[in-house]
Amino acid sequence: MSQTYKALTQPLPIDIVGPDGKKRPIHAFPKVGGFKKVPLARGLKAFELHFPTFLKKRRGSNLVAPDLGTSLCMLLEVEDEQQCSEIVRRVAHEEIPGTFGKYLDTIHSFDVTVHREARTMQVSVVLTPHGADTVSWSFELRFPPEEEGVRQDEVRPLPSPQALNDPRAAELIRIAWHYYPAGYPVWEDDDEEPVLAYQRTPEYQRWSAIRQKTWDDWKEWEDFLESVRAVFPGHVIRDVTYPSTDACSRCCLYLEEPLPDGGRVVTRVVGAVCILAPLYLVYTTTATVRPDKTSTRSRLTFEPAGEAKPFADAMARLIEQSFDYRPFPLELADIPLPDLRVESLYEPPTLLGALFASRDTLDNLP
């Protein structure tokens, strides 16, 4: 069974303009690609490469909070036809114009055919880019559950009203705005410039300076690493900090449990110390390494339990002793920062991403 949803009954003119008050010709659309097997492209070709990725990306799942964005992925999770039609309408009327409007004059049609059992959908679109003739094309979006993070045990609720009104949130948001520029979306980047516009802002300069300082000379961090090695002799301890991207430094302790089949369970206990605010996180990731050296997808939790808990508790105590920092309030983790440009993130920024890193990055460990 499949169902087609039509977002438009008539062409939709788009009056959104760029920061200079003018439309931007589609041939100025920033370069994309240049990785894996995708060649570097610019202009209309770059838009055609980027557009499906934008439609596929999960940007929020609450149908009653359209300001956080929806995703076509939600069409696979919702069976109510009216809600599905509203998702498609919202993408065509709001999200596409809001993101790409300065490069588009008119959307003539936007139709989505959903194949729920196959977890795929066919998107057909006809539009007039600014400075080009009307174009039309169709493409298939695929949403494997593992890849798109739609498993029920991984769905994260949106921040509660209490979290949004928490006075701590206001202070952390202020810190994020101090270090990250607002109003520089990635699709505005001009790759012909030697230094991108957002990298010339005072906010980015502050961020870059503090990241470089903590990478070059942060005695407290070096002392902390020595303390961890002293407290946990016989365990592998690694500094797993990404030197130029994330807003935290990370220390990893490895625990291994052998399995009867020759495999092993690997648990990583991680201490993440924010470089922008006096905050820290302690979390674990767990994966099973099979006898053939392949492994299962790791599981990240901010609530260490079992064998890992005493190690996590000791890691937290060492961080507090070394830095006098406090735990990051996890109830505030997913508060959105939609206007900020956080260089390390490939998803809409949140307090967790801005002050530490994305969940995928926190989970990505050697």
The residue with tokens 């990240």 is 300
Is residue 72 a contact partner of residue 159, using CB atoms and an 8 Å limit? no
CA 340, CA 177: separation in Å to the nearest integer? 7
Which residues, in sequence order, are CB contacts of 292 under 8 Å at separation 6+?
Answer: none
Is residue 121 a contact partner of residue 113, using CB atoms and an 8 Å limit? yes
Indicate the domain borders of the chain: 3-149, 211-363
Q: How far is CA 110 from the centre of its chain?
A: 26
With 0.95 as the threshold, say if the pTM is over it. Answer: no
The residue with tokens 């790759």 is 191
Is residue 246 a contact partner of residue 357, using CB atoms and an 8 Å limit? yes
The one-letter amino acid at 152: Q
Write b or e for each residue in 36-56: b if 16 or more Cβ atoms lie within 10 A of its Cβ, otherwise e. eeeeebbbbbbbbbbbbebbb
CA distances from 34 to 31, 40, 42 (A): 9, 4, 11
302 three-state secondary structure: coil
Q: Residue 91, Cβ neighbours under 10 Å: how many?
A: 24
pLDDT at 313 (0 to 100): 97
Is residue 295 a contact partner of residue 341, using CB atoms and an 8 Å limit? no
Please give the structure tokens belonging to residue 226: 């020595």
User: Along the 366 residues of the chain, how does pLDDT read in single tens digits?
Assistant: 789 999 999 999 999 987 778 899 999 888 776 544 556 778 899 899 888 888 886 544 333 333 344 568 888 888 889 999 999 999 999 889 988 999 999 999 999 999 988 889 999 999 999 999 999 999 999 887 643 444 433 445 567 777 778 889 999 999 999 999 998 877 677 767 889 899 999 999 999 999 999 988 899 999 999 999 999 999 999 999 987 789 999 999 999 999 999 899 999 999 999 999 999 999 999 999 998 888 888 899 999 999 999 999 999 999 999 999 999 999 999 998 988 999 888 777 899 999 999 998 999 888
Angle at 296 between CA 292 and CA 300, to 5 degrees: 145
CA 240, CA 229: separation in Å to the nearest integer? 14
Is residue 73 a contact partner of residue 93, using CB atoms and an 8 Å limit? no
Is residue 244 classed exposed, middle or buried when 0-12, 13-18 and 19+ CB atoms within 10 A define those classes?
exposed
φ and ψ of 110, to 5 deg = -150, 105
Rg (CA), the chain: 23
Please give the structure tokens belonging to residue 316: 């937290």
Q: Which CATH class is domain 3-149?
A: alpha beta
Instruction: Indicate left, alpha or beta for 339 from its phi (over 0: left) and psi (-120 to 50: alpha).
Output: alpha
User: Measured between alpha carbons, how far apart are the two ends of the chain, in Å?
Assistant: 43
Residues facing 137 on adjacent strands: 125
pLDDT at 156 (0 to 100): 54
Residues facing 253 on adjacent strands: 237, 269
Q: Which CATH class is domain 211-363?
A: alpha beta
Please give the structure tokens belonging to residue 65: 């909070």
> Which is nearest to 109 in space by CA: 93, 98, 94, 87?
93
